[in-house]
Structure 1
Amino acid sequence: MRIIVTNCNTTGQMTEEIVRGARAAAGPGTTVAGLTPTWGPESAEGWLDSYLSAAAVLDALRTYDGPAYDAVVLAGFGEHGREGVRESVDVPVVDITEAAAHLACLLGRRYGVVTTLDRSCGLIEDSLETAGVARNCAAVVGTGLGVLDLAQDQARTESAFLAAAERAREAGAEVLVLGCAGMTGLHRAVGEKLGMPVVDGVGAAVRLAESLVGLGLTTSRAGGYARPLPKRRVWGRPAG
């Protein structure tokens, strides 16, 4: 089985970190490859970045010419684009936001999301609402760290996460979700200290993608995710 994991930004180092986390979660016989958009924001933090990254990821998948893949994991927490990708490809598409929330709902009555900057909280809340899992979300809490700050100082990242996690717990969270693909792997460092389950969206999405492929299931074409209508579409700036 081959899974493509798409980064939502153009930072190759982050793609490598995400792929490492995805491979650690994958079962035997699963190959994981990363896909980095060639254009778009270097980090996705806000509405403008999110819409740009959605188009860039769609374009990266549209122009992909590597080995065939069996599933796509979208590694952008709260970012746009998952519905468009589901229309576009003929394999299961699992978004880390949905995957983490669904698994969290199996572990406790209410979950909390700990993310990066506060400006990302609204995006994530909307994404959870669209996915139908917002009802069980107690809080979406920011750490105050930018996406590219996460890998710079592990001690600072862990400290900021723990402080935000306490706020989520006070709001009623019984399970925590890592609210950024760049946090992949952090659950191992903070889970014991918090005394509550911490769900990594990348690992959750990889395992769910494996399950869908193993069960022979893929996106329904019977309604909203029907294949795009045939028409002329111009990608990027027209020549001339």
Structure 2
Amino acid sequence: MEGKTILIVGASSGIGKSIAEMAMAKGAKVISASRQNPNLSGVEHHTVDVLAEEINFSFIPETLDGVVYAPGSINLKPFHRLKIEDFQDDFQINVTGAIKVLQASFKALKKSDNASVILFSTVAAKLGMNFHSSIATSKGAIEGLAKSLAAEWSMHGIRVNVLSPSLTETPLAERLLANDDKKEASNKRHPIGRFGQPEDLAHMASLLLSDEAGWITGQIIGVDGGVGSLKP
């Protein structure tokens, strides 16, 4: 990734921050856009709220080699307790926010020799899990968006892929991993024997952002400890 310019939306914590750290370690210039400053040395940060109606994207440079859209939500409730507003809120942060960023970045991505876009889904969009109807709905939409853009943008040399994790230890997942009992139960649910860490996703993201992944596009990639496809 030496010399590449990568825009990471949601780099202030969790998976996004881990991707930013790894990208910089590999020689990339990282531009952060999020509500909170990731406070990482060398990162160019711009305060952006993707839920705002009007967003100033003037900070986007002339050329972008990669865009990572990492904001997310975990709103786990029985379907009958979810309000329409819950579905709308999840859709706004997971889908509408991504659309705003990608539309604003398109011209800059076209000018790269090998541009890469990374979006995030969830294993629940494929597997079907209790209490995940709202988040699975919005993440399912992200998968459809990514497939469509991968086809449409291929003529411009822009690759679009989705990482689909299972439970990963991030600030969003704090209450799901609040104590040792919950952590152990989650470990046991994963065939590989543990829940995820941000670095697990960052390693795959680093590959997809690099030239080594120049023939990979339109893929939904499970980084999930095997839970999405295995039943040992």
Is TM (by shorter chain) over 0.5?
A: no
TM-score, normalised by the number of residues in structure 2: 0.44
TM-score, normalised by the number of residues in structure 1: 0.43
